[in-house]
Amino acid sequence: MLDTTGRVAMITGANRGIGNALARQLHHDGWTVSLGARNLDQLLETTADLGEERVSHHRYDANNRATDGAWIESTMALHGRIDGLINNAGVAHLNDLESLDDDALDDMFAVNVKAPLRLIQQCLPQLRTSGTGRIVNLVSMSGKRVSGTFAPGYAMSKFAALALSHATRQAVWDQGIRVTAVCPGFVATDMTDEFGPDKATQIQPADLAETVATIMRLPNTAQVAELLVTCVPEAMA
């Protein structure tokens, strides 16, 4: 396992849900965490108990390209390095096939696909320098299967996000960077308040975060390319 002491990870969407759990787990494991969220006030509030040691807070809006470079530059200025990038921020519009329109589709591709691509591209020099750089893309089981007529546009964006993850993994392997696509099913966050099985049976964000943290500690010789995490017996075809 890698020693996480002194390593720096950027996490998008860290103000709530899975991103917040990831911030807590990595910080607990010794990482310095650079946390990004569109709502900076909420981010500061929901991570206040982490203290100020090995934590920085940044405004990051997946729909605003200017925040990409500003966040990376600030992270480098504060911490001097970037060893990990977790693309967690996402958006879901639950339109059915007939009601899906360009605005909803464009928003999902902008946030779920294009924004992670830009961050990956801009973080590559630092991840390359690390020698053991890590990229984790929170994709979703909706990137592996289409569940009936449920949210076709969301699935389209997540299939694209999965392709991005695997394309990146192959492109950067020889640079010491390892990439994992994490595909969770129903996770007990506010996104699943209105659908899915009973909350008590859903994946807990803290459990998913611990799994991701373990993957990020693995050496370059033991990489997990894709991880499916489910709470129900998923139909994969």
Could you tell me which residues are beta bridge partners of residue 30?
none
Q: How many CB atoms lie within 10 A of CB 89?
A: 25
- Own/partner pairs for 111-118, CB < 8 Å, 24+ apart? 111/62, 111/63, 112/157, 112/158, 112/160, 112/161, 113/157, 113/160, 113/161, 113/164, 115/12, 115/62, 115/63, 115/68, 115/87, 115/89, 116/12, 116/87, 116/161, 116/164, 117/164, 118/65, 118/68
Residues for the chain: how many in total?
A: 237
- Does 60 participate in catalysis according to the annotation? no
With b for 16 or more beta-carbon neighbours within 10 A and e for fewer, the 65-88 pattern comes to eebbeebbebbbeebeebbbbbbb
Which of the following is catalytic: 31, 60, 71, 154? 154
3-state SS class at 84: strand
Vertex 229: Cα angle to 227 and 234 (nearest 5): 115
Beta carbons within 10 angstroms of residue 174's beta carbon = 7
List the catalytic residues. 154
